[in-house]
């Protein structure tokens, strides 16, 4: 099976999901509502969460693009791993808006929102790791890598598998930290961590 349509479908889902994030942004102009200045000061989590989640999905796309450039062909298991990754990506507009809403509202329920947002991130991290693992160990790579290189790639790329659950745990103690830790992880993944790309530019 060729990989072209997998890229096209993934691009489509990522593009829709990243754009749907905007549906959570809104201002109220009806008479009798709070002034815009007050709305901004109350709804800042929405704007910050929008930016963080946009970058998270954007980085996922950049790495998806980079990893697929290493692949010669795909198999059916890999397609379903990719689908699982996309499933967690599509939950982002929901978990992002939930996190923003509960951070704005304050109160104990914000912890539920942290857990939900954490599940999105953990699911994407694990899904990605499964794909990278299969690429390396089931002969999907265009140029096979030796065991040490493959192992190193999995370790460096797989840090999120542990970091996201830890971030969620911290978020349970102090909910706003969730946006900080997630944003930091996105910065980590902005750099090409697998070291599998020949001559990366960063």
Establish if 62 lies at the interface with a second copy (CB under 8 A): yes
> What backbone torsions phi and psi does residue 141 show, to the nearest 5 degrees?
-70, 145
- 65/122 Cα distance (integer angstroms): 20
Which one of residues 48, 66, 141, 159 is an interface residue with a second copy (CB under 8 A)?
Answer: 66
| Start-end of H helices in 21-158 | 36-68, 76-90, 92-105, 110-137, 147-157
Q: Which is nearer to a second copy, 72 or 75 (CB)?
A: 75
Establish if 143 lies at the interface with a second copy (CB under 8 A): no
The answer to whether the CB of 109 falls within 8 A of the CB of 102 is yes
Q: Which is nearer to a second copy, 12 or 144 (CB)?
A: 12
Q: Which is nearer to a second copy, 15 or 155 (CB)?
A: 15
Quick note: the x/- pattern for a second copy over 102-141, rule CB under 8 A, is x-xx---x--xx----------------------------
Establish if 151 lies at the interface with a second copy (CB under 8 A): no
User: Least distance from C-beta 163 to a second copy, angstroms?
Assistant: 21
Q: Report residue 154 as tokens.
A: 């999995």
- 95/118 Cα distance (integer angstroms): 9
Q: Which is nearer to a second copy, 26 or 151 (CB)?
A: 26
Mapped onto helix, strand or coil, the DSSP state of residue 35 is coil
DSSP labels, 161-189: HHHHHHHHHHHHHSTTHHHHHHHHHHHHH
Instruction: Find the binding residues for a second copy in span 25-44 (CB under 8 A).
Output: 25-27, 29-31, 35-37, 40
Torsional class of 174: left (φ above 0), alpha (ψ -120 to 50), beta (otherwise): beta
- Tell me which residues touch a second copy (CB under 8 A): 1-2, 5-9, 11-23, 25-27, 29-31, 35-37, 40, 51, 54-55, 58, 61-62, 65-66, 68-69, 75-77, 79-80, 83, 86-87, 90-91, 93-94, 97-98, 101-102, 104-105, 109, 112-113, 190, 192, 200-202
């Amino acid at each position: 099976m060729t990989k072209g349509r997998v890229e096209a479908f993934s691009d489509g889902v990522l593009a829709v999901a990243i754009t749907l994030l905007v549906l959570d942004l809104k201002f109220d102009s009806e008479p009798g509502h709070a002034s815009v200045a007050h709305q901004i000061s109350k709804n800042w989590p929405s704007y910050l969460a929008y930016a963080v989640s946009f970058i998270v999905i954007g980085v996922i796309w950049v790495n998806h693009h980079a990893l697929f450039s290493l692949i010669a062909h795909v198999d059916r298991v890999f397609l379903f791993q990719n689908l699982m990754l996309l499933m967690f990506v599509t939950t982002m507009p929901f978990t992002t808006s939930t996190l923003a809403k509960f951070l704005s509202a304050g109160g104990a329920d914000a912890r539920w929102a942290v857990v939900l947002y954490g599940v999105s991130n953990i699911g994407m991290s694990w899904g990605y790791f499964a794909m990278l693992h299969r690429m390396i160990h089931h002969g999907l790579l265009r140029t096979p890598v030796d065991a040490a290189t493959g192992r190193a790639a999995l370790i460096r790329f797989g840090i999120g598998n542990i970091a996201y659950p830890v971030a969620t745990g911290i978020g349970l103690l102090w909910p706003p930290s969730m946006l900080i830790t997630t944003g930091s992880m996105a910065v980590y993944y902005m750099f090409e961590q697998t070291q599998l790309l020949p001559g990366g530019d960063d």
